[in-house]
Amino acid sequence: MKRLIIIALLLFSCGVYAQDGIQFYQGTWKETLAKAKAEKKLIFIDIYTSWCGPCKMMAKDIFPLKSIGDKFNTNFINYKIDAEKGEGITIAKTYKVNAYPTYLFVNGDGTLYYTTLGAMPEQAFIKEAENAIIEFGDPKPLPVWQAEYSTKKNDKEFLMAYMKKRAKLRLADDYLIDQYVSLASKEELLSKETLTFLLQQQGATVDGPFFSFLTANKAEVAKLMGQPETSVNRMLSQYAAGDLKRAVAGKDTKLLEKIIAVRTTLSPGSNAAIDADETRMSYYAQTRNEPELIKALYKYSKSLLAFDKNSIKEADAQQLKSFNESVAAGQMKDASPEQIEMSRKYVGSIAATNYAYRVRDMATAAYKRVNDKAVLNEALSWMSVAAAYSDNFTIPEVTAGLLYKLGRKDEALKSQQKAIDDFAAIKMDNEIITMRLKNRLRDMLDNKPVWIDNEAATVAAK
């Protein structure tokens, strides 16, 4: 009898604990909308996939927390759905979801009020819920702005206010920026407040008016930014690289080549070929075209590995010299010796670290998207190069992935454990990265295909 009581208590306590976290409604999408409308609440939608590591991390470590349950169960109708199955396919398409996990907050009519994405710690997730609640209570929420857009799209003041509203919700504004630029005068665009806001949106299409404006007015833009013209070139090159998502979405090779041409023009010296090859590799990795990706990887590896290593040493030496002069001039007099030494190590290795990351990302593309063992072995040799330029924990992490995919499990486990130890050694309080590394080790032990992952969430957690 006593044993039965203990078991009953254990079952009861487990049941209570299970109720602490988010309670997800089990009805159909139509029923969920009706429930939200009846209760005058937003629907929180967790859009995930079965292969998404960060999705699993949130479901395991964040959703069950009492603080999360208290916030979400009180304020939302909670709903979760696989983006690749059943109604999830339509929902993901309707709301243009292309990264996982994505979190949507919509009303009973299906109107989007707020969106965010990626794995995040407890308090950050609660903050996102609060942002959604604020938007739902806004007297002029996003749906009202969207309704006004069709009749006011030629009104500069409206467009600027609309962009600011969307910026709060982390919604892309490329097309609105281009519309605004096409209506504004040069003097208006070169206003520091206006230009600063437009640049903060961090996006421009290579064939759009904003990109053309920046290209045609580099000197004045640089002066307003307080930066040399080369900084504007770097920014334009980054915009072009970011526009690759548009080419990927439409599988548009003509746009790909235009982006490559722009980046080649903007890149200094030997970087031109490297940037062009990197762009082509990224396109074929994202469009999952393995034959073309293999060609692009071999071409990129030649240009990247042939990069002048002396220029890396010279760049870091110059940075270190400037830093030491600053310290000698007393500019870090309030810093501790440990802080100064940490800063010295960082400043003196910026170029080397950036180079290591480019080599690592090249190998990652092979690890994620290629099954050819010869290519994977080649990528493993690239990681030796990356390791010579950086001791960052992601180097053994990617190395572990390659070893595992090649069937060298014991070596992979050691390398993954090294990644865990290296990250722990830097004492960075980041639960998301810690869980990513440990979950990867666990999946390797369970013989799961760890190379299937979500790029957006992985990049965000670097």
| DSSP class of 4 | H
Question: pLDDT at residue 347 above 90?
Answer: no
Q: Which CATH number fits domain 2-137: 2.40.50.180, 2.60.40.350, 3.40.30.10, 3.90.660.20?
A: 3.40.30.10
Residue 17 predicted with pLDDT over 60: no
Give the pLDDT mean for 408-417.
97
**Statement: residue 173 has pLDDT above 90:** no
14 catalytic residue (yes or no): no
- Is the model more confident about 173 or about 252? 252
Q: DSSP string of 142-172? A: HHHHHHHHHHHTT-HHHHHHHHHHHHHTT--
Q: Are 99 and 458 in contact (CB under 8 A)?
A: no
Burial label, 16 (beta-carbon count in 10 A; 0-12, 13-18, 19+): exposed
d(CA 35, CA 58): 25
Nearest CA to 368 out of 290, 252, 420 is that of 290
**Average pLDDT for 389-395:** 95
Tell me the pLDDT tens digit for each residue of 100-116: 999 999 999 998 888 89
- Any idea where the domains of the chain sit in the sequence? 2-137, 144-266, 304-460
**Residue with the two structure tokens 């295909």:** 449
The one-letter amino acid code at 268 reads: P
Is residue 202 scored above 80 in pLDDT?
A: no
pLDDT of residue 19: 66
pLDDT of residue 271: 83
| Contact partners, residue 255, CB within 8 Å, separation at least 6 | 206, 207, 243, 246, 247
Catalytic residue among 45, 52, 255, 461: 52
Q: Which of 155, 152, 154, 176 is nearest to 164 (CA)?
A: 176
Q: Are 393 and 419 in contact (CB under 8 A)?
A: yes
Q: Which pLDDT score, from 0 to 100, does residue 4 have? A: 47
Please, where are the H alpha helices in 253-336?
253-266, 271-286, 290-305, 309-328
Confidence class for position 457, pLDDT limits 50, 70, 90: very low
Q: How confident is the model at residue 74 (pLDDT cuts 50, 70, 90)?
A: very high
pLDDT averaged over the chain? 89
Residue from 22, 33, 47, 55 carrying the catalytic annotation? 55
- Determine whether 55 is an active site residue: yes
Crossing angle of helices 409-425 and 394-405, rounded to 10° = 170
Using CA atoms, how far apart are residues 335 and 73, in angstroms rounded to an integer?
45
Instruction: Give the pLDDT mean for 58-73.
Output: 94
Question: Where does the pLDDT of residue 272 fall: very low under 50, low under 70, confident under 90, or very high at 90 and above?
Answer: confident
End-to-end CA distance of the chain: 53
- Most confident by average pLDDT, 90-99, 159-168, 259-268, 356-365: 356-365
Burial of 194 (0-12, 13-18, 19+ CB in 10 A): middle
Structure tokens at 460: 């965000």
Mean pLDDT value of segment 327-341 = 84
* Long-range pairs for 180-185: beta carbons < 8 A, 24 or more residues apart: 180/156, 181/208, 181/209, 181/210, 181/213, 182/209, 183/154, 183/156, 183/159, 184/156
Mean pLDDT of 43-61: 91
At 217, which amino acid appears? N
Q: Do β-strands 102-106 and 42-48 pair in parallel, antiparallel, or remain unpaired? A: antiparallel
pLDDT digits (tens, 9 = 90+) for 275-304: 999 999 999 999 999 999 999 999 999 999
